[in-house]
Structure 1
Amino acid sequence: MTKTIIKPAQSAPAVGPYNHAVRVGDLLFCAGQIPLDPATGNLVAPDIKSQTERVLENVKAILDDQRLTFANVVKSTVFLTNLADFTGMNEVYARYFTGDFPARSTVQVAALPRGASVEIEVVAHF
């Protein structure tokens, strides 16, 4: 199978040696996105709702680049630095994923890059 590297121009800059997404066959594997503003490269406001919205807008930019939507997402993984933020994250998440939700895992982690409170990665199907 062919592996295609995806580097959307409108995405926030990567914070390490990785690509924003990789397409293999009919699957798009999106790297975990943190709440960086694509225009400035800076972390957005510290509250979980603002951070989750920015993360999902960053995911949306990758999906849009490939002419996909959140309806194409079959799996997501949410990383939170504090599970007390679960409810606030879910409120925003539910605005982006509607109808048939993808499979999802949510885990608490000790820390995330750049001091982010949330990171989300997705797998989408073409």
Structure 2
Amino acid sequence: MTNRAVISTDEAPAAIGPYSQAIKVGNIVWLSGQIPLVPETMEIVAGDISAQARQVFSNLAAVAKAAGGSLDDAVKLNISLTDMNNFGAVNAVMEEFLNAPFPARACVAVAALPKGVSIEVEAQLAV
């Protein structure tokens, strides 16, 4: 028997495909990638990469809260960017949402992301 739990909240965008917002097994939570969708409208947030990154991290924070944790419980982040020139701006926004010691992280450039957005971030938490 497994203790696998599906995590879901209206405070983050609904899944736009066949996946859960997060899955929790024991004290580990895997948060699905978030893009800059506004939960209430399911529209892409207006603004530059900083505004988009803030929406992404706000969405992740909402899912983390629903799982009984926070982004400070993150042990690993995976960031996908369509333009690595946005790396510095995303780092600055990340520092608004997480406190040191920061989690392990990967940041990769990708050709495209869902709905044509510039950023997607997924996280793993230990809560």
TM-score of the pair, normalised by structure 1: 0.96
Partner of 2:124: 123
Structure 2 distance, partners of 1:67, 1:121, is 17
What stretches of structure 2 of length at least 5 have no aligned partner?
Answer: none
Amino acid of the residue matched to residue 36 of structure 1?
Answer: L
Structure 2 distance, partners of 1:46, 1:96, is 18
Partner of 2:43: 42
For the residue of structure 2 that corresponds to 1:5, the secondary structure is strand
Deviation per residue, 1:34-93 (Å, 9 max, x gap): 000001000012411000000000001001112211211000000000001101111101
What stretches of structure 1 of length at least 5 have no aligned partner?
Answer: none
Structure 1 distance, partners of 2:118, 2:88, is 13
Partner of 1:112: 113
CA contact (8 A) 2:24 2:67 kept: no
Amino acid of the residue matched to residue 41 of structure 2?
Answer: T
For the residue of structure 2 that corresponds to 1:49, the secondary structure is helix
Deviation per residue, 1:76-112 (Å, 9 max, x gap): 0000000011011111011111110000000000000
Matches within 5 A, 1:1-126: 1-126=2-127
CA contact (8 A) 1:46 1:117 kept: no
For the residue of structure 1 that corresponds to 2:121, the secondary structure is strand
Structure 1 distance, partners of 2:10, 2:50, is 25
Structure 1 distance, partners of 2:100, 2:3, is 32
Aligned Cα RMSD in Å? 0.9
Amino acid of the residue matched to residue 58 of structure 1?
Answer: N
Sequence identity, in percent? 35
